[in-house]
Amino acid sequence: MDIASFKDCEGVPIDKFPFKGTQRDVIGTSIRWLSKFGDDGTGNPEYGLRHFTIQPGGEIPVHNHFYHQTMYILNGEFKCYQYDMETEAAVKTVVTGVGDFVYVPSLEPHGMKNIGAEPASFLCCIANVYTDK
């Protein structure tokens, strides 16, 4: 068992997220890895819990990934976007606040923006889920 404060985990700025073979600019966003386990074969964990902080006006652009994720909003307000894979147009936009959660299935294009006047944060749990066919 490990017990620690999120403050003990280094906050690392994120500059880019990949989508469809190109690196997209991430604005005003940092991440603290609270826990992680396993290796998916590409150097990423199979499971992880992360603490994100996004500055006012900061955003994570359209991106997708193999793992499933659930984000739980701790403070602030975010616009969360679901995008069309081909056109990159937003097909769903939802404003979230404290206590809301957002589930994003594997490979679904998504992004978010802090629409408040203060830094906002959320927890993000990621997990690879495999199905046998």
Name the pTM for this structure.
Answer: 0.92
Q: How confident is the model at residue 128 (pLDDT cuts 50, 70, 90)?
A: confident
Q: Domain for residue 41, yes or no? A: yes
For residue 42, tell me if it sits in a domain: yes
Residue 131 lies in a domain: no
CA-based torsion, 48, 12, 92, 114: positive or negative: positive
Domain count, the chain: 1
**Within-domain flag for 55:** no
Higher pLDDT, 39 or 97: 97
Task: Render pLDDT for 22-66 as a digit per residue (tens, 0 to 9).
Answer: 999 999 999 999 999 998 887 788 999 999 999 999 999 999 998
Residue 116 maps to a domain: yes
Q: pLDDT, tens digit, for every residue of 71-92? A: 999 999 999 999 999 999 999 9
Question: Would you give the end-to-end CA distance of the chain in angstroms?
Answer: 34
How high is the pLDDT of residue 124? Answer: 97
Asked if residue 5 belongs to a domain, the reply is: no
Considering only residues 66 and 98, tell me which one the structure prediction assigns the higher pLDDT: 98
Confirm whether 100 is domain-assigned. no
Domain that holds residue 84: 18-49+77-89+105-123
- A 10 A CB-CB count for 32 gives 18
